[in-house]
Amino acid sequence: MTDITIFHNTRCSKSRATLALIEDKTDNLTIVDYLKNPPTLAELSNIIALLGFTSARQLMRTGEAVYKELQLSEEQDEKQLLQAMLDNPKLIERPIVLANGKAKIGRPPESVLTIL
């Protein structure tokens, strides 16, 4: 069976629901608490590419207070957007599931089933 990784936030109901769906399907699961262990720049860039996003902003939680505090809505530099997510992992949308060379955001949680 394929190895599956979930970038998970235990305080998020969608993340918990996605994790429960995956746990029913596999034992080959790596759970990454991305708030405590944020992805590297390379991992984050890879996730964005696997999701088919054209901008780091598409992976950002734009409703977070830190997004507004850092005035990221005005930022156009992709490197700065990536750095903001690395410095403030709370900005990263969740949950993210990696499986079979693909990535999916678990919103809704069932959407990740398409890559398992």
Residue 12: active-site member: yes
H runs (alpha helix) in 3-61: 13-23, 41-51
Q: How many CB atoms lie within 10 A of CB 79?
A: 10
Q: Which of 3, 7, 12, 31 is catalytic?
A: 12
Exposed (0-12), middle (13-18) or buried (19+): which is 83, by Cβ within 10 Å? middle
- As a whole number of angstroms, the distance between CA 82 and CA 78 comes to 6
Annotated catalytic sites, by residue? 12
